[in-house]
A and B are shown apart, each in its own frame.
Chain A
Amino acid sequence: MDSLSIFIPLLPLSAAIILGIGQLFGWLNGEKTEPFTASLSLTALTLSTLLAISLLIAEQYGKTDGSYLAGTWFSSEVLTVSLNFITTGFALHTAVPCALLLLVSMLFSVTHLHREAGYHRFFFVFNLFSAAILLFLLSGNMLITFIGWQISGVCAYLIIAYAYDQPIAAFNATRVFMTNRLGDASFLLGIGLSYTWIGSINWSDLNQSIVDLALNEATTLALCFATAAFAKSAQLPFSPWLTRSMEGPTASSAAFFGAVFVHSGVFLTIALRSVFEQSAIAMTVLLVIGTLTALYGLIVGLTQTDIKSAIGFAIITQLGLIFMECGLGFWQLAAWHSVIHASIRAYQLLTAQGFIQQTQGITASLIPSRLAKIRWGYVASLQRFWLDPITDWTLVNPVLQLGKDLSYFDDHIVNAVMGAPAPAMNALATLAQLEEHQTGTPSDTEPDVFARGSGFAGKLAEGTSVILQWIEERLMLRGIHEDAILGGRHIGNIANRIEQLLLRPRYLALFVFITLLAVF
C-alpha cells in the first residue's frame, strides 16, 4: 500500500515530461492538441489525487506502515540520500487537500486558458508544479523535500513570466525567484548543518535527535528553516514578492500563490514543530515575525485598489496569523487554519474576475474614522512601508555597485598588471599574412614592433626602463620641479578616491561580512 506513494508525485511528473518533450519537438502546438494536453494533465493529477485519498483511507484503517523506502538516490561516504516517503500523519493529511486544490485549479484552467498562446506551456508548468509540491509534502528526506521546494520555485518563476514578452512580468518573475532563492539558501544551510551535527538528512532522524542537540545548535537549525519558511510564505521582510507574483494567469495565482505554494513554508514549520519547540528563541521569532507580518498585511491591504493586490495582502495577513499561532505553540490550530485558508483563497482567486459583478451595488465598509485620520499611516500603507526600496537600497544596489567596482578593478587593474599584449596585428604578422592571403583582403601592414614588451615579463622590463628613464630625465636632470608637485597632487587624488570608495557602506558591510566568516 505504501509503495503507492511514489506514484503520487511521479504521475504529474510523467505528464510534465511528456508535455515538455511534445512541445520541444513541436508536436503539441495550437488549439488542436489542447484536448490532449488537458486530458493528460487531468488524468495524471486525478489519479494521484485518488492515490492520495486511498492512502489516507488506508491510513485511517491502519493499513499503512507510515513510511516507504523506494531506494537510494545517491550516496557519498556516510551520507546516504534515500528516496523515502512519509505515508502518514500531517504530511499525508496535507497532501490530500493540496492535490484536490490543484485539481480544481487545473480544471478551471482547462477552459480559462482556452486558445491562449501559452496553453501547453502552462500545463507543463502546472504538472511540474503539482509533482514538486506533492514530492515536497510526502518526502521523508530533507534533500528530496528541498528538491520539491526548489522546483516549485522554478515553476513559480516560469508561471509569473507566463507573458514573457512583457518586461514587467519578466522583471517580477526574476525578483520573486531571487527572493525565494534567499530562502532556498537558508534551507540548504539547514540541511548542511543538520548533516554536520546529526549525521543524517532524514526528517525522522532530525525530529528524534533534536533533543540531544545543544541549545544554540537547535536554535540555529530552527532559524535556518524558519528563514526558508518566511521567504516562501511571504513573511516579513520577504513579503513584497507575493503581490509581484500576481502577474501570472488567474488560475496559477490561485493554485500557486493563494493555495499551495505560499503554504509550503507553513507546512515546513509545522512539520518541524519538535525542532522549533527546542528553542524558545526560534518560537519567539516565529511569533514576532508572524505578528508583524499580519499587521503589515492588514495596514497595507487597506489602501489596495485592485482585487488581486487586495487578496494578496489578505493572504499575507492570514499567513502572518498562522505563523503567530505556530509561535504560540498552537500547532493543531495552525494546521487547520492553513488548510482552510488555502481552500478559501483558491476559491476567492478563481472567482476574482467575477467579483466585480457579484459585488455590484454593495458598498465596501469604511474603516473607522479615527484610523482614517492617521496621515502618515496612509502614506506608509500606500507605499507598502517602502519594503522594496529598502531592499534595493540595502541589498540590491550595493551588490550591483560592488559588481561594478570589481569589474572596473578587473578590467583596469588586474588585467593591466597581468599583462595584455596590445600589438596584436603586428606581433603576429605571420598569422595575419596567412589569413590575408586566404581572404584576399590586405590590411594595414605596419612594420612589426618586436621591441615592444608584452605580457607580464615584457611589460615589467619595458616598465622598468620607462621608470628609470623618467627618473633620469625628470628628477636627475631637472631637479625637483613643478612636476613633482603635480605628481604629488595626482597621487593624493588617487588615494582620496580609494579612501572614499572604502568608506562606502557596501565595503564596510563587505568587510564586516568577511570578518564574520573568518571568525566563524
Chain B
Amino acid sequence: MNEVGIPLLSCLIAWPLLSAMVLGFVHSRQLAKYLAIIVAAIELLLTLIVVYRFNPQNETLQLVEQYRWIELLNIHFEVGIDGISVWFLPCSALLILMLMLSAWNAVQYFRRLHFALLLALEGILMGVFCATDMILFFLFWELTLPAIFFLIGLWGIGPQRRGAALKYILFMLFGSVPLLFAIIMLAINHVTQVGGSIPQDLAFSFPVLLLTPVEDSLQPMIFLCLLLGFAVKAPLVPFHTWLPTVSMEAPTQMTALLIGLKLGLYGILRYAMTLAPSAAVQYSWVLGVFGAVTLIYGAFIALQQSNLRRLLAYASISHAGLVVIGITSLTMQGIQGALLQLLSFTLVTSSLVLIAGFIQNRLGSTDIVHLGGLAKVMPKLSVFYFLFTFASIGMPGGSSFPAEFLLMLGALTAHPSLGITALVGALMCAAYSLSFARRAFLGQIVHKGVAQLQDLRPREFALLCIPALLVLLLGFFPDVILESHRVTAEAWLSRLVNQPIFNVTE
C-alpha cells in the first residue's frame, strides 16, 4: 500500500514525540521556542503529505503499517487512516502550531517544558487519530491525559488551575473505565465468535473487529460503554461540567485545544457507532435526544454567561450536541455534515478562544464587566472576532454554513423533531453570540484600561489570518472536504443501515 516504503504514519507519531525529548536538552530557551515551531511546522507538512497520499476513492484503511507489539495478547502496533480520520491530522497539526504561536510570550516559566509537552501532545493526538488497534488507541487516548494535566496545572491562568487539572483527569478516567471494558468485551466476543481460546484468539485490531459479528445480547452493553467513554470527552450533558471549569482555569491555548478538538465526537463517530452497529441503529434516537438536550441545554446556559471563555465552553457543548444529532440521523447528509462541522468547528472555535486569550493577555480578564467598546480600540481583533462569530453561528461564507445545513437536512429527514431542535439551537447560538458581542465589543468604552489596549500585534494578526482564510475557503468550497470522505462515509453508513441481521432470524 505504501509504495515508497516510508512508514509515514509512524513518523507522524514519532517525530514530535522524539523532538519533544530532544527539546529537553536544548539549553537556550529562545532556541527551544524556535525549534518547537519548526518541528510543529514539519509535522504539519507531514500531515499534508498524508492527505496528499490519501486516495479518497478507496474506502478501506490506507497507509497501513503493522508491527508486532504484545504478541501474547495479539496486540499490534497498527496504524492507518481512512476518510473519516484523514482531515483530523492536518487540522490538529495546524491547531498545535497556532497554539504555539499564541503562547509565544504568554508562557513565563518552564518554557522548554511547555513546548515539549505541546509537541508530545501533538504526537499523541496523531496516535489517537491513526491507531487502528483498539489497545493502541486506548493507550494514546489515555496518554493525552498526563500531558494535558500538566499543561493545565502548571500554566493555568485561573487560581483553581490545579483543581481544574485534577477535575479533568478524574472525569476522563471516569470515562476510560467503560471504554476499556468495551474493548475487552469486543475482544472476548471475537474469541467466542471464532470459537477459539483466550489469549491466542483475542483480537484488538479495528478492521478485524468490524468484521466480527457481535451477539445481540452484548451489543447494547458495548454500545453503552463506548458511548459513556466518549460522551465524557465530547462532552455531552450531564458529563460536561469539566469543560467550563477547565476553560476558566487552563491557559487559553489549552482551552482552545480542549474546546476545539472534539476527540469524543470522533470516537463516537468512528468506534461507538460502528463496533456495535445494531445497537447503534436501534438506540440512535436515544443518542439523538441526548444530542438535542445537549444542544439546547448548552445554548441556554451560554446565554447567561458573562465570561467569554466560559461562554465558548458552553457554545462548544451546544455544538457537540448538534454534531451528535447529525451522526444519529444515519443519513449521508448527517454524517458528512458532522465530519465537516468537526473540522470547521476546530478552526472557528479555537480561533475564538485564541482571541479571548489575546484579550486575556492584555486585560487580565475576559469578563463582560471589564470589557465594553473593544471595537473602538481593537478594530483588527474585532474584525476577526466578528468573522469567526458569524462563522460559528452558521452564516454563509463560513465553513459552518454548509456543515450546519447538511446536519439540519439529515436530522430533518431522519427525525423531523430533531431537525427543528437543531434550528432552535441555531437561533439560540446567534442570540448568545451576538448579545455577548454587543456588550463586549460594541457600545462605549467604560473602563480606562480598555481605552489603552493595544490592537493585534503582527504575529497575532498573521496567526489569525490562517484560520480565517481556511474558514472562508472551506465555506466557499466545501466540496473539497465532502468529496474526500464521501466514499468512506458511504461505507460507514451502509455498514450501519444495511447490516446483516445476526441471531435474530434463527
CA distance A109 to B412 in the complex (A): 44
Binary interface encoding of chain B residues 135-170 relative to chain A, with 1 for a CB under 8 A from any of its CBs, else 0 = 000000000000000100110000011111111001
Separation of A19 and B94 alpha carbons in the complex (Å): 28
Task: Return A443 CB to nearest CB of chain B, in Å.
Answer: 10
Contact partner of A427 among B166, B336, B401, B441, CB < 8 A?
B166
Chain B, residues 439-462, CB within 8 Å of chain A (1/0): the string is: 001111100000000000000000
Task: Choose the segment among A202-210, A232-240, A265-273, A406-414 that binds chain B (4+ C-beta atoms closer than 8 Å).
Answer: A406-414
Number of B interface residues at 8 Å Cβ cutoff, please give it.
75
| Cα distance A27–B452 in the bound complex, in angstroms | 23
A20 to B406, CA, bound (A): 29
Q: A174 on the interface (CB 8 Å rule)?
A: yes
Report the minimum CB–CB distance from B16 to chain A (whole Å). Answer: 24
B396 close to A418 (CB less than 8 A):
no
Q: Is the CB of B405 within 8 A of A143?
A: yes
Could you tell me the dominant secondary structure of chain B's interface residues? helix
Contact A147 B396 (CB under 8 A): yes
CB distance from A147 to the nearest CB of B (A): 4
- Segment touching B, from A62-70, A177-185, A380-388: A177-185
User: Which of A76, A169, A406, A420 sits near B406, CB closer than 8 Å?
Assistant: A76
Q: Which of A1-9, A33-41, A159-167, A305-313 contacts B (4 or more CB under 8 A)?
A: A159-167
Residues of B within 8 A of A185 (CB): 423-424, 426-427
B residues near A438, Cβ cutoff 8 Å: 109-110
In the bound complex, residues from chain B placing their C-beta under 8 Å from that of A456 are: 170, 174
Q: Which of A46-54, A278-286, A428-436, A472-480 contacts B (4 or more CB under 8 A)?
A: A428-436
Q: B375 near A: Cβ within 8 Å?
A: yes
- 0 or 1 for each of B281-308: is its CB under 8 Å from A? (1 = yes): 0000000000000000100111111000
A195 within 8 A of B: yes
Chain A interfacial positions (CB closer than 8 Å to B): 24, 72-77, 79, 143, 146-147, 150-151, 154, 157, 161, 164-167, 169-171, 173-174, 177-178, 181-182, 185, 188-189, 191-193, 195-196, 399-400, 402-404, 406-407, 410, 414-415, 417-425, 427-428, 431-432, 434-435, 438-439, 454-457, 517-518, 520
With A75-B479, A79-B333, A407-B304 given, name 7 new contacts (CB 8 A).
A72-B479, A74-B479, A79-B409, A403-B300, A410-B241, A417-B238, A439-B109
Q: B170 is contacted by which of A77, A404, A421, A425 (Cβ under 8 Å)?
A: A421
A177 in contact with B430 given A164-B442, A419-B170, A428-B166 (CB within 8 Å):
yes
For the complex, what is the distance from the CA of A193 to the CA of B435, rounded to whole Å?
Answer: 30
Q: A164-B375, A165-B443, A167-B443 are in contact. Are A414 and B300 (CB under 8 A)?
A: no
Least CB distance from A135 to B in Å reads: 10
A402-B153 in contact (CB<8A):
no
A residues within 8 A CB of B220?
Answer: none
Contact indicator A76/B241 (Cβ below 8 Å) = no
C-alpha spacing A434/B154, complex, angstroms: 9
Q: Could you list 30 examples of A-B contacts with CB < 8 Å?
A: A24-B380, A73-B478, A74-B479, A76-B333, A77-B333, A147-B396, A150-B396, A169-B442, A174-B435, A174-B438, A178-B431, A185-B427, A189-B419, A192-B408, A192-B413, A400-B304, A403-B302, A407-B305, A410-B241, A420-B163, A424-B164, A425-B162, A427-B162, A428-B163, A431-B154, A431-B165, A438-B110, A455-B171, A456-B170, A457-B174
Q: Contact check, A406 vs B413: say whether CB atoms are below 8 A apart.
A: no
Establish whether residues A150 and B395, one from each chain, have CB atoms under 8 Å apart when the complex forms.
yes
Question: Which residues does chain A contribute within 8 Å of B237, judged by CB atoms?
Answer: 414
Q: Is the CB of B442 within 8 A of A406?
A: no
Nearest chain A residue, comparing its CB with the CB of B383: A24
- What is the CA–CA distance of A76 and B488 in the complex, to the nearest angstrom? 13
From A72, which residue of chain B is reached at the shortest CB distance?
Answer: B479
Does B492 sit at the interface, judged by CB under 8 A? no
* Contact A151 B396, beta carbon cutoff 8 Å: yes
B390 touches A177 (CB 8 A): no
Whether B304 lies near A188 (C-beta < 8 A) is no
CB distance from B238 to the nearest CB of A (A): 5
Report chain A residues within 8 Å CB of B383. Answer: 24
- Quick one: closest B residue to A428, CB to CB? B162
A431 in contact with B162 given A77-B333, A404-B304 (CB within 8 Å): yes
Separation of A418 and B412 alpha carbons in the complex (Å): 33
Q: Which residues of A contact B408 (CB under 8 A)?
A: 188, 192
Q: Closest Cβ of chain B: how far from A366's Cβ, in Å?
A: 41
| Bound form: Cα–Cα A427–B110 in Å | 22
Q: A177-B434, A192-B409, A414-B238 are in contact. Are A455 and B395 (CB under 8 A)?
A: no
Q: Roughly how many angstroms separate A73 CA and B442 CA in the complex, as a whole number?
A: 35
User: Bound complex: CA of A452 vs CA of B239, how far in Å?
Assistant: 22
Q: Which residues of B contact A414 (CB under 8 A)?
A: 237-238, 241
Residues of chain A contacted by B18 (CB below 8 angstroms): none
List the B side residues contacting A455 at CB < 8 Å.
Answer: 166-167, 170-171, 174
Whether A424 and B166, one on each chain, are in contact in the complex, defined by CB atoms closer than 8 angstroms, is yes
Instruction: Give the docked Cα–Cα distance between A487 and B67 (Å).
Output: 64
Q: How far is the CA of A192 from the CA of B170 in the complex (A)?
A: 42
Q: How far apart are B389's CB and chain A's nearest CB, in angstroms?
A: 11
Cα separation A518 to B288 with both chains bound (whole Å) = 12
